[in-house]
């Protein structure tokens, strides 16, 4: 079926495993991937008129979707892409679906610095704004000017940095019913060759230190400072530990890999096992960075 007055199609029972970096998860009851703002607003109105729960899906790189899937309407922002650089002010306004690595390379090629850290993060701008994505001691909060969000009422609101209330890997948007449609970032002028070199160096570092050969969601747990989650997991002897086809990575213990045919519940059980073991050994409870959506089988 098509949304009223648009060419945007709503589909039923769409498998979500192919749309997440973990490559696991059941189907969406209903799924839509708007290509412009009008279609996005129409998607919201459609869900509200039928009292359907709304779940937003960006690049799917920081998600664990249950094997049972997600009820209601899943709205994917992956096709909402637009980037506009202002060479006079050094700001860039970018739509929610734009991939972070692509934006980082664009900025580097134009000689603007500030996004070098983002080149190895396989997410989109929308998700990065919501979770305050970061790496190499930098994060979205360091450069965000404002974020435009769509409210359930259909109205648009612009949130300032202060209103987003950023802290480590979180913001006031987490758990909210407001959808990021675009963000404006402040970059700094730099030497093109130097920015390109730094960006390349960050990418090579991530490739050398993190496992990219199998599906994963990136870092699973937040770092419980002053420790790092990976160090605590490694010191607990969990590298290589498996539940089904889900494995704690040998190269970086804060990664869980889908070694082929893993179920979402395998990963869910492995996350809980890691939490228990680290708690037992270090009296530290690790909090997941990955978002878990849907219903999972009870443990124990």
Strand order in the sheet with 27-32: 10-15, 27-32, 70-76, 54-57
Indicate if 219 belongs to the active site: yes
Measuring CA to CA, how many Å separate 114 from each of 55, 125, 198, 218? 31, 14, 10, 21
Catalytic residue among 66, 76, 216, 219: 219
pLDDT in tens, the chain (300 residues): 777 667 789 999 999 999 999 999 999 999 999 999 889 989 988 998 899 999 989 889 889 999 999 999 999 999 999 999 998 999 999 999 999 999 999 999 999 999 999 998 888 999 999 999 988 889 999 999 999 999 888 889 999 999 999 998 899 998 888 889 999 999 999 999 999 999 999 889 888 878 878 999 989 999 998 999 999 999 999 999 999 999 999 999 999 999 999 999 999 999 999 999 999 999 999 999 999 999 998 776
pLDDT at 152: 80
169, 171, 216, 236: the catalytic one is 169
Query: Considering the domain 83-209, what is its CATH architecture?
Result: 2-Layer Sandwich (3.30)
Q: Is 295 annotated in the active site?
A: no
Q: Are 110 and 192 in contact (CB under 8 A)?
A: yes
Q: How far apart are CA 101 and CA 118, in angstroms?
A: 6
Residue 271's CB: how many other CB atoms inside 10 A?
Answer: 23
List the domain boundaries for the chain: 10-76, 83-209, 229-293
What CATH number should be reported for the domain whose range is 10-76?
Answer: 3.30.43.10
Q: Looking at the domain 229-293, which fold is it?
A: 3.90.78
Active site residue 209: no
Q: Which of 11, 8, 72, 77 is nearest to 39 (CA)?
A: 8
Check if the beta carbon of residue 162 is closer than 8 Å to that of residue 153: no
pLDDT in tens, 77-104: 999 999 999 989 999 999 999 999 999 9
Q: Torsion angle of alpha carbons 148, 150, 155, 158, nearest 10°?
A: -20
Structure tokens at 248: 């704690």
Catalytic one of 41, 124, 206, 289 = 289
């Amino acid at each position: 079926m098509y949304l009223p007055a648009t060419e945007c199609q709503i589909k039923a029972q769409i498998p979500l495993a192919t749309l997440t970096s973990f490559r696991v998860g059941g189907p969406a009851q209903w799924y839509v991937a708007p290509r412009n703002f009008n279609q996005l607003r129409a998607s919201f109105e459609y869900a509200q008129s039928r009292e359907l729960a709304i779940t937003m899906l960006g690049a799917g790189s920081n998600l664990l979707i249950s094997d049972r899937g997600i009820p209601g309407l899943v709205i994917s922002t992956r096709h909402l892409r637009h980037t506009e650089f202002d060479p006079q002010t050094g700001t860039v306004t970018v739509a929610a679906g734009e991939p972070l690595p692509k934006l980082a390379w664009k900025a580097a090629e134009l000689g603007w610095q500030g996004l070098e850290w983002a080149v190895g993060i396989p997410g989109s701008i929308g998700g990065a704004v919501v979770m305050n994505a970061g790496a190499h001691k930098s994060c979205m909060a360091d450069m965000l000017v404002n974020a435009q969000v769509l409210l359930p009422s259909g109205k648009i609101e612009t949130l300032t940095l202060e209103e987003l209330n950023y802290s480590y890997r979180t913001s006031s948007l987490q758990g909210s019913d407001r959808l990021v449609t675009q963000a404006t970032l402040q970059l700094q002028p730099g030497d093109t060759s130097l920015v390109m070199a730094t960006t390349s160096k960050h990418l090579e570092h991530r490739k050398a230190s993190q496992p990219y050969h199998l599906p994963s969601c990136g870092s699973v747990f937040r770092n419980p400072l002053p420790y790092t989650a990976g160090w605590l997991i490694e010191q607990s002897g969990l590298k290589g530990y498996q539940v089904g086809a889900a494995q704690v990575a040998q190269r970086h213990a804060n990664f869980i890999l889908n070694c082929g045919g893993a179920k979402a519940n395998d990963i869910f059980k492995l996350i809980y096992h890691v939490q228990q073991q680290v708690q037992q050994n270090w009296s530290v409870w690790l909090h997941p960075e990955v978002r878990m959506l849907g219903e999972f089988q009870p443990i124990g």
